[in-house]
Chain A
Amino acid sequence: MRGFLARRTAALGVTVLLASFVVFLIPYVTPGDPVRKIIRSQVQGELVDESAVQGLTAELGLDDPLPVQYVRWLSHFVSGDMGLSYTSRTPVIEHVMPALWITLSLTVVTLAVAAIAATALGTLAALREGRLTDRVITALTQALIAMPEYWLAPVLVLVFALNLSVLPSAGWSGPSSMVLPVAVLAIRPLSHFTSAVREGMLDALGGEHVLAARARGLSHSQTVFRHVIPNGLLPLTTLTGVWFAGLLGGSVIVEVIFAIPGMGRLLYDAVLNSDIPLAQGGVVFVVVLAVVLTTAGDLLHAVLNPKMRNSHA
């Protein structure tokens, strides 16, 4: 267990460093003069003459070797100085933090909805294995995984916002504006969770320990609640971690369609406008958060699973 923890944490650190290095390289690999791009992200006001550029190049240390520049960039970054957005000429951090909160809350609500619904549906399908209920739920999960969000979203908007006028079609203003985005975002995790819960429950149901529990006099429902559901839900912990990471980026489409000022939207705009500092800040935040969350999911799984908790491997 301790070894597992250590290895996970080490992997986390390495990933974050690697990702940050790749992100650091953006201005160097994109078309155009990197020096001008970097200066643009550091200094307010427009640059006109060549001599000013040269002065600033030396002043900002842009003639230093790349590793040195990287370390300096990273230390700035860690202390919260991520440069200025090209488009708004304001510090990147001021854009990233509010966007991050919006995306996080969207993600948390979505995953909670998906996990609860999937637990109910997956358990029901497993207990009714092979019957109509199971077949309908299974068919539904298969259909949902093939559903493009950028199609479902306009269709839902068409129905609920334009025709029925019960929900806002876009924007970020209170709980009602969250309904449609959450519905669209939840379909794929829901589908994935449901089939995982169903499989987990079937495995748990098929375990000989279930028959043995009956043979010790537990009733069917006692057996299901004590020995099937807790075991069958275990896979959800890891999956939630993975999807947490997936949704932070998967929300690009939904945030663009519903005009939600979250991380997805921020990154999209940054790429469209070639706003390099904004993209750098956004990507690093998303990646760090994603890696941390996935690791957390794994650790939770390990803690809940006695086999791993006690292993010394």
Chain B
Amino acid sequence: MSLVLRGGKVVDSQGERILDVEIGDDGRIVSVGNDLSGDTNLDASGCVVAPGLVDLHAHLREPGQEDAETIESGSRGGALGGYTALVAMPNTEPATDCAAVVEQVRHLGAAALCEIVPTAAMTVGRLGVDMAPMGELVDMGVGIFTDDGTGVQDPRLMRRIMEYSTGLTARLGRPVLLAQHCEVSALSDGGYMHEGDWSSRLGIPGQPAEAEELMVMRDIALVRLTGARMHFQHLSTASSVAMVRGAKAAGLPVTAEATTHHFSLTDAACASYDPVFKVHPPLRTDNDVAAVRKGLADGTIDAIATDHAPHADHSKEQPFDEAPPGMLGLETALSLALEDSGLDLPEILALMSWRPAAIAGVNDRHGLPVVVGNQANLCVIDPDETWTVSGRAMASPSSNTPYEGRTLRGRVRHTIRAGEPVVVDGEARR
């Protein structure tokens, strides 16, 4: 049974060309050319055929909070958003900090519509006290460690984790990636939005930008000391972007991601007092949004991530302080990048597909050029289709999208995961 994507324009890391793409039974691309025909043909006319998207930052909530999301529902949302791989954050319940939970995530991920890339916590229980069994986890193939949801507060422990990780390079076959949620909790605790003009006016206690920036600064210094491979998650402030730019110029082994919401929304959104706009790090100012966009444009920021964070409706129907932080992102990220990043599609695909694939260490199968022999992890994007965001219509059992009711241009028409058409004409096939 062969599958042909017909009439689309291929855009990948090698450039752009009009090509039909034929995918064989083994899930690999078997031929590219013109006027191809297969057992099944999917219309891609007017569309862009691209390597599938890779999200470095998704909360799939399983195990532990299955009322908010499951690996299955999250992967369905991912596939609808054009993703073929999702890096699953370890702030599950229990935390993904040991072999057993990694095994569970893998097992659940095997049936998912995207490839699920498990990560593990840097510290036991994500408590920031004791180092997680990184060697054992590396031997299972875990290549990314993060306490995401919180940063490792203790600089001494962080130094030790960094040093230790550098000894695991050979066992993993590449440097272990340490991904930090940069937030000095002593400065951010008790704050629920960005501290500034809006928080002052709204009376919502704020978190200063410096809570993020101090940890970015600390970790850059510790990378210089240890040589560890560091990835900065969801950079949100102008100074954070500037510091990472400086670290890269100094040749340090650091990468960074920014989320869709940090270049498409500002703290002004909190004026509604709707906790759907509550997120960590918080929505920042226009100036920060401009700096994030610039960082994406000049390569300081390597990837657009979602920080997809589902929360069941009842948990967001609370006062601003009590509602948990986080927002849905998988189904809206590509459209928002097209609308709000200021970048063109090839640049966006670099930030959402092949660069994050390389950071996640899945670039032997994701983000690859559309050429014969490569595994067919592809998405077909209609850049002109307009659609209106509805949280209820999303694959997630949660509906906490901050873009409710917004009309966006650009939508995924088909997603091919290892040769299987998991999304066809904007509908998930399973």
Do A and B form a real pair? no
Interface residues, chain A, CB within 8 Å of chain B?
none
Interface residues, chain B, CB within 8 Å of chain A?
none
